[in-house]
Structure 1
Amino acid sequence: MFTVMIRTAILYSLVLLTMRLMGKRQIGELEPFELAIAIMVSELASLPMQDLGIPLIHGIIPIITLLILQTIITILELKSDLFRRIICGKPSVLINKGKIDVNELRHQRLSFNDLMEELRLKGFYNLQDVEYAVLETSGELSVLPRTDTIPATKKDLNIQSQQEKLPVTLILDGQICKENLKVIDKDISWLESQLKRNKIENANKVFIGILDSKSKFYFQLKD
């Protein structure tokens, strides 16, 4: 039993490392060759876990080989546009200037209902609101709406606005994130002043404290 646990932990760590090195894509965003490698890695890892008669190294070596292969393919993709087209294909324009390309739709083995479903998921319920729709190599649908249907922005209305910033976590479960304070060029004294302003005795009582995108201190107490 202990041997099985150790083998499982080793293989899990190796698969986790492999997937991290492959990048941060979600499963739905993987290119075909990346999805194939992900499936093969999972299968190769599961066999030595289930069968103790299979040497552990017989699972480790193929996984590392696939990681090296994926790295080589990625490098070749960056170097050669032709190689990328061969491996990943190229984006397909399904709607061009507001008109559905029926031949391309058939070529991609998509029905009209499939296209409408993808458009609805992107927030477009009327076909006439779409100028271009492109099926990317990852399977995602990119949509460019008609210009006259795009909501007016603050820039269009000549409204002055300040650029928002990324929110930063300052307190998490009562613990002060000192590194994040340095990121925003603040110190603990500043944070304590924010707590006092909100009538909070100390950070231990705070479940989450964030400097939001508008540079305002947001918090939620533990109780």
Structure 2
Amino acid sequence: MEAILIALLRTAIVFFMILFFFRLTGKKDIGEISVLDIVVTLLIVDIAVIMIEDTNIPILKGLAPVLLLFAIQYTFSRLSLKNQKFRDIVDGRPVLIIREGELQQENMKKQSYNLDDVLLQLRTKDIFDIREVEYALLETSGALSVYKKGDQYPFSLPFILDGMVQEEHLSILGKSSDWLKKELEARGYSNFEDVFYCGFTKEKYLYIAPRITDQS
């Protein structure tokens, strides 16, 4: 009976620890969970199973690696929020898979993304002909964002994220960093670093969100 109570207590402790972890990572859809979140979650689950099954392990000793994983995840999340380059390393970046009805085979190879994967995701969006697709981007979550031909302006891609110019996105839409710089200067922005977010809206309007500097 005592062993059962100990196991139940450990289970409750692990449950609240994992719940706290997901609260720490913020509210996200399942499809938006990052690779880092998945790795940390799997490790926590493995440790949790060991803690529950092996009652000889002191609870504090079992929780120590879990707390370490929490600290790693929290630190990486803060760094990703403040640093685009670090975020690209940890989470990756969207990759162009289809451009103007043509498959980007080199990009597919780099992502180990085969033709069956493409066709499957297109079918789920009721698209059965690749030529109907204007652009398709493989998101960091693994989902395929598809934009069909015929729209007035197929989609909005960010040109600047957290002060960093997205050269690939500009190239997709036939723009350059020089063009972007002139557009920003005409609106009173002299440096890319002054812009937190910039991108076209569906109405072809250049939306700009200035960076808010820390006054502390």
TM-score tier by shorter-chain length is 0.5 to 0.7
TM-score, L = length of structure 2? 0.65
Deviation, 1:55, is: 0.8
Among 59, 73, 79, the alignment partner of 1:70 is 73
- SS at the partner of 1:82? helix
- Partner amino acid, structure 2, of 1:111: N
SS in 2 for 1:19: helix
Instruction: Point out where structure 1 has 5 or more consecutive residues left out of the alignment.
Output: 151-223
Residue 140 of structure 2 aligns to a residue whose secondary structure is coil
One-letter code of the match for 2:15? Answer: Y
CA contact (8 A) 1:22 1:67 kept: no
1:15 is aligned with what amino acid?
A: I
Report the alpha carbon displacement of residue 13 of structure 1 after superposing the two structures with TM.
1.4
> What percentage of aligned pairs have identical amino acids?
32
Selected match of 2:57 from 54, 58, 64: 54
Is contact 1:95–1:131 with CA below 8 Å preserved after alignment?
Answer: yes
Q: Which amino acid aligns with 2:100?
A: K
Amino acid in the other structure paired with 1:123: D
The alignment partner of 2:72 has SS state of helix
**Paired residue secondary structure (2:141):** coil
What code does the residue aligned with 1:31 have? Answer: S
Larger Rg: 1
Verify the 8 A CA contact 2:122 2:128 in the aligned structure 1.
Answer: yes
| Cα distance in structure 2, aligned partners of 1:123 and 1:16 | 37
For the aligned residue pairs, the C-alpha RMSD in angstroms reads: 1.8
The letter for the 1-side match of 2:74 is T
CA distance in 2, matches of 1:74, 1:87: 10
How far the C-alpha of 1:77 sits from its partner, in A, is: 0.9
- Report the equivalent of 2:163: none
Q: Which runs of 5+ in 2 are unaligned?
A: 154-216
CA distance in 2, matches of 1:78, 1:144: 28
- Is contact 2:139-2:145 (8 Å) kept? yes
CA apart distance, 1:14: 1.1
TM-score (norm 1): 0.63
Number of aligned residue pairs: 150
**Any idea what SS the aligned residue of 1:4 has?**
helix
Find the counterpart in structure 2 of residue 98 from structure 1. 101
Aligned counterpart, 2:7? 4
Deviation at 1:60, TM superposition (A): 1.7
